[in-house]
């Protein structure tokens, strides 16, 4: 049986992670494509999947804003909240152009960090 400690070479951990990561995610993606092609766009199952995906994305974004890790911890919470709010407003006002919302939010994050620094939050 092949496991993580099978080979004693420098490259084996990278191959193991790549294969394990691929198997854990891509199988579900392909199954989703195969099953999703057979579902009507307005079916209850597809509506539920969209709702769950949206909720998970919202939860990840909220966690990044309220409980950041790494360098984002140095950005004051008020700057993070304003950046996401104004970025979302820009997204909506420009006809739901994702790149505009991202660019506005990032600009506010960078600008707010430069102006206020970590001591303000």
Whether the predicted pLDDT of 73 surpasses 80: yes
Contact 79, 113 (CB under 8 A): yes
| pLDDT value of residue 63 | 95
Contacts of 88 (CB under 8 A, 6+ apart): 101, 105
pLDDT average, residue stretch 67-90: 93
Instruction: Quote the pLDDT of residue 54.
Output: 93
Q: How confident is the model at residue 61 (pLDDT cuts 50, 70, 90)?
A: very high
Residue in 81, 121, 84 with CA at minimum distance from that of residue 101: 84
**pLDDT tens digits, 5-55:** 677 777 777 887 888 888 878 888 888 888 878 888 888 988 998 899 999
Say what the pLDDT of residue 1 is.
67
Tens-place pLDDT, residues 89-109: 999 999 999 999 999 999 999
Parse the chain into domains and list their residue ranges. Answer: 69-121
């Amino acid at each position: 049986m092949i496991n993580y400690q099978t080979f004693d070479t420098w490259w084996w951990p990278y191959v193991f992670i790549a294969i394990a990561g691929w198997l854990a995610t891509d199988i579900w993606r392909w199954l989703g494509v195969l099953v999703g092609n057979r579902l009507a766009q307005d079916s209850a199952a597809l509506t539920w999947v969209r709702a769950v995906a949206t909720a998970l994305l919202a939860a990840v974004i909220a966690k990044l804003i309220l409980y950041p890790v790494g360098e984002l911890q140095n950005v004051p919470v008020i700057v993070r909240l304003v950046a996401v709010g104004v970025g979302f407003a820009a997204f909506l006002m420009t006809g739901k152009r994702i790149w505009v919302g991202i660019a506005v939010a990032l600009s506010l994050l960078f600008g707010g960090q430069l102006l206020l620094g970590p001591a303000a939050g």
